[in-house]
C-alpha cells in the first residue's frame, strides 16, 4: 500500500499486490478500493499483479474540495499507473469506475493498456438528453441521490445496499448484513462533498467519444437485473460504440454482482484476461 501525489497536490491511496501482468481496478461510487477484495485476492493468487486506488475524496485518499469530475478521476488513475510504471495492463472498472477507466484508457492509457473491462458501468451517459432519450431524467438524480445524501448521508448509505445495489430488495434474495455493513463503511470513509459532486460526474458525463476512440479488446459485463445502471441505456449502447467490444449479459444479476456472484464474475474475468486477440 502507498500513496502518490497528483499534479494538483492530491494524495491518492493505492494497493499494489503481487507480480506478473498488472490488473488495475477502478471502484464505484461512493466506495473505495476495498470493494474489489474478492477480485484482488482471486487474481493475486492466480499470479497477477493487482492494483487498486481510492478515488480522490473517497476512502483513504485526500478529501479535497475540488476536482470531482471524470477528467480529474482519469488523470489521478494515470498518476498511479505512471508512478508504478504499469505496462500491458488490464483495466477493470465497475459503475462510476467504468467511466473512470474508459476516460483513462481514451485519454491517458492507450500505450499502457492491453484490455479493458466495464462492469455495470455508467457509459455512454446515464442522463436523459435529446440525444439519449432512454436515459434517466435529471430530477431523479436530484431527488433519489443529492437530496438524501445532503439530508442524512449515513442513512442513505444504509438504504442503497439494503435495496437495489445488490438486489437484496428482490423476492427470495439472500441478504448479507456483512456486505451491507461493508458498503456503509466504505461510503462513510469518504467525503460528503466528493460524493455529492460525484453524482454529476457519474450521471452527466458523456463517454461516447471515449468509447469510439478505444481500440483494445473490451469486455462489457452487465447484470440484466441491474437496478442502478439499467442495461438498455448503458452496456447495450456502449458495445455498439466500441471498435473491439464484447457484451456478456448475466440474467438476474444485480449491480453489485462482483460481490454477490464473485465466483462467476472472477472466472469470466480470468478467461478474458487470458484470451488472445
Of the candidates 111, 110, 108, the residue with the CA atom closest to the CA atom of residue 7: 108
Distance, in Å, from the CA atom of 73 to the CA atom of 58, rounded to the nearest integer, reads: 11
**What is the rounded CA–CA span in Å between residue 82 and residue 117?**
20
CB 108 within 8 A of CB 77: yes
Distance CA 202, CA 174 (A): 28
Tell me how crowded residue 127 is: count the other CB atoms within 10 A of its CB. Answer: 19
Residue appearing with cell numbers 463517454: 207
Residue 69 CA to residue 46 CA, distance in Å, equals: 34
What span, in angstroms and rounded, lies between the C-alpha atoms of 103 and 101?
Answer: 6
Instruction: List the catalytic residues.
Output: 95, 226, 255
Name the grid cell of 157.
448509505
Amino acid at each position: 500500500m502507498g500513496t502518490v501525489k497528483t499534479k494538483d497536490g492530491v494524495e491518492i491511496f493505492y494497493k499494489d499486490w503481487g507480480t506478473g501482468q498488472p490488473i488495475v481496478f477502478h471502484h464505484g461510487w461512493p466506495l473505495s478500493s476495498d470493494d474489489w477484495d474478492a477480485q484482488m485476492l482471486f487474481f493475486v493468487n492466480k499470479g497477477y499483479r493487482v492494483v487498486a486506488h481510492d478515488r480522490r475524496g473517497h476512502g483513504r485518499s485526500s478529501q479535497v474540495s475540488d476536482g470531482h469530475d471524470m477528467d480529474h478521476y482519469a488523470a489521478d488513475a494515470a498518476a498511479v499507473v505512471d508512478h508504478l510504471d504499469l505496462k500491458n495492463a488490464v483495466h477493470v472498472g465497475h459503475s462510476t469506475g467504468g467511466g473512470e477507466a474508459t476516460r483513462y484508457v481514451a485519454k491517458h492509457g492507450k500505450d499502457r493498456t492491453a484490455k479493458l473491462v466495464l462492469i455495470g458501468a455508467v457509459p455512454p451517459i446515464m442522463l436523459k438528453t435529446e440525444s439519449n432519450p432512454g436515459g434517466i431524467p435529471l430530477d431523479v438524480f436530484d431527488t433519489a441521490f443529492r437530496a438524501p445524501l445532503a439530508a442524512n448521508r449515513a442513512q442513505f448509505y444504509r438504504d442503497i445496499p439494503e435495496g437495489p445495489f445488490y438486489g437484496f430488495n428482490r423476492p427470495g434474495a439472500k441478504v448479507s448484513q456483512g456486505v451491507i455493513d461493508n458498503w456503509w463503511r466504505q461510503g462513510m470513509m469518504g467525503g460528503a462533498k466528493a460524493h455529492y459532486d460525484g453524482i454529476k460526474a457519474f450521471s452527466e458525463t458523456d463517454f461516447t467519444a471515449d468509447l469510439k476512440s478505444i481500440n483494445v479488446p473490451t469486455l462489457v459485463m452487465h447484470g440484466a437485473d441491474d437496478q442502478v445502471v439499467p442495461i438498455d441505456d448503458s452496456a447495450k449502447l456502449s458495445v455498439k460504440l466500441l471498435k473491439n467490444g464484447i457484451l456478456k449479459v448475466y440474467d438476474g444479476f444485480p449491480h453489485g454482482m462482483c460481490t454477490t456472484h464473485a465466483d462467476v464474475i472472477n472466472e469470466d474475468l480470468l478467461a478474458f484476461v487470458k484470451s488472445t486477440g
